[in-house]
Structure 1
Amino acid sequence: MNQMRAAVVYESMFGNTATIATSVANGLRSAGMQVKVIPVTVAGDDVLRTHDLVVIGAPTHTLGLSRPSTRADAVLRGAPAEVEARGVREWLEDLQDAHSVRIAAFDTRARAMRHLPGSAARHVAHLLRRRGYDVAPSTSFYVGSTKGPLAHEEEARAGDWATDLGHRMIRRVVA
């Protein structure tokens, strides 16, 4: 059997989601998958057609995925200007369907907001389920505030989540 291919596509304003994306990639590798980590600003529409699993990560902005206005606000708060270009929302809108890929999603969000209903990961999962994709349960990782830092142990938790996800994906294909 060929090694399964995964991509971790992420959007990050202040580096926290990028850090979690790296931990997710490392967890998938430890499960035996071949993994690429791709910032959404350079992700192409071929990602869904060339991988067995695509994990999508984004920060939660105003209870969901970022918008041009919330990315512009992040830049005013100190995020690099290039984050304004394109977010996960726009990337998903531009994608052609490729239903054979399995999708998983995660987000980063302020720990103080953990009990609120909105989540970028749940928004991704909802959008892609409506389009007919097979979507794994989403999860959230927490930061202390908008700019971070990541809450204690979140990097390790992300790696563990991804390792479990990778093992479940491989078992599913073998079965």
Structure 2
Amino acid sequence: MCETMFGNTGKIAAAIADGMADGADVTLTNVVDAPAELPATVDLLVVGGPTHAFSMSRVGTRRTAAERGGAFTDVPGGIREWLEALPPPKTRMSFAGFDTRVDMPLLPGAASRAATKLARKHGFDVLDPASFLVEGYEGPLVEGQLELARDWGHGLTEQLAG
């Protein structure tokens, strides 16, 4: 499941899903289409979003992104709101968070870390999060990030199988 304003996080999500597909049944969903409650058949929830202001996006940061050319579809609700409203899983379920962020050294905070912290509070078994890099606010993705995302997705299925 992902939130994407300029398409970069969506491309990463698709690459992660591709990497997972050889070892798992995968459904890729945009946050605006995500269910209010997760089916008990889900073993691993992978959630990603862009890093805005060193964390998960908010209505104001999504509005600013839309004004800069991003998609307006995600403005009302992103992964922050979805995760906050999500009831705790009824069965044991793992969580892996990822984000896209500007390729600048020493930037504090990441959407994936904030999402992972929230998932832990909800009772998920959390796996290490991952960040994927974009050039500038709108992107594009830094070269090689799609391959890294595929590898990370493949590694997630290996962790679950192991």
Q: Same fold (TM over 0.5)?
A: yes
Where is the strand percentage greater, Structure 1 or Structure 2?
1
Amino acid at match of 1:33: A
CA distance in 2, matches of 1:141, 1:17: 8
* TM-score normalised by structure 1 residue count: 0.88
RMSD, aligned α-carbons: 1.1
What residue is the counterpart of 2:48 in the other structure? 57
Deviation string for 1:137-166 (max 9, x for gaps)?
001000001110000100000000110111
Q: Indicate whether 1:117 and 2:108 are aligned.
A: yes
- Name which of 96, 108, 124 aligns with 1:104: 96
SS of 1:75 mapped into structure 2: helix
What residue is the counterpart of 1:86 in the other structure? 77
Q: Indicate whether 1:70 and 2:58 are aligned.
A: no
Q: Indicate whether 1:33 and 2:10 are aligned.
A: no
After TM superposition, which residue ranges in structure 1, 4 or more long, deviate above 3 angstroms? Answer: none
| Structure 2 unaligned spans of 5+ | none
* TM-score normalised by structure 2 residue count: 0.95
What residue is the counterpart of 1:144 in the other structure? 135
Q: Indicate whether 1:160 and 2:135 are aligned.
A: no
Deviation string for 1:11-68 (max 9, x for gaps)?
00000000000000000012x1000000001101233633111100000000000000
CA distance in 1, matches of 2:46, 2:129: 10
Is the 1:48–1:54 contact (alpha carbons within 8 Å) kept by the matching residues of 2? no
Where is the helix percentage greater, Structure 1 or Structure 2?
1
CA distance in 2, matches of 1:101, 1:34: 15
Instruction: Give aligned pairs, total.
Output: 161
